[in-house]
């Protein structure tokens, strides 16, 4: 029996507002996107959500301000084009891309993050829940 993935608003809010999985240390890797742009991947982990199933979560650092949602979404869509294959290979129906933008110099930096949740619908097509807000 097929059970659609439902990620509750509390989980989405937690992913958007929290710093879960953020690692700005030496474990990060530069990844080259198809456009040639490089992004810094800080972590990729499977997370189990009690009421909605599992999702693969990719955290990355962006140079784009979180306030510039149009440009950020274009970058996330390009990342999703690659990350989607990882989510499907893990046999999951949910993927989260969490962007973090750091500001400041030296040891003290401020960060702001935003999460984009993608779910696979019953028809097999992927959908970003951010699109439901429009």
DSSP string over 58-126? EEEE-SS-TT-HHHHHHHHHHHHHHHHHHHHHTT-SEEEEEEEEEE-STT--EEEEEEEEEEE-TTS-E
pLDDT tens-digit profile of 39-64? 999 999 999 988 778 999 999 999 99
- Specify if 107 maps to a domain: yes
| Pair 66, 73: CB distance under 8 Å | no
Q: Is residue 3 part of a domain?
A: no
- Name the average pLDDT for the chain: 82
Query: Is the predicted pLDDT of residue 1 greater than 50, yes or no?
Result: no
pTM of the model: 0.77
Over the range 16-34, which residues count as b (16 or more CB within 10 Å of their CB) and which as e? eeeebbbeeeeebeeeeee
Q: Can you tell me the mean pLDDT for 61-68?
A: 95
Whole-number pLDDT of residue 108: 78
83 found inside a domain = yes
For residue 40, give its domain range.
9-133
Number of domains in the chain: 1
Asked, for residue 2, whether it belongs to a domain, the answer is: no
Reported confidence tier of residue 7, pLDDT bands at 50, 70, 90: very low
């Amino acid at each position: 029996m097929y059970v659609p993935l439902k990620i509750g608003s509390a989980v989405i809010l937690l992913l958007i507002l929290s710093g879960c999985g953020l690692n700005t240390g030496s474990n990060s890797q530069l990844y080259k996107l198809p456009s040639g742009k490089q992004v810094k991947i800080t972590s990729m982990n499977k997370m189990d959500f009690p009421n909605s199933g599992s999702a693969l979560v990719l955290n990355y650092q962006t140079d784009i301000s979180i306030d510039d949602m149009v440009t950020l979404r274009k970058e996330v869509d390009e990342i999703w084009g690659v990350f989607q294959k990882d989510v499907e290979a893990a046999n999951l129906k949910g993927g989260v891309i969490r962007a973090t933008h750091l500001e400041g110099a030296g040891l003290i930096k401020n960060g702001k993050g935003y999460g984009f949740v993608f779910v696979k619908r019953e028809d097999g097509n992927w959908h970003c829940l951010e699109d439901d807000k429009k």
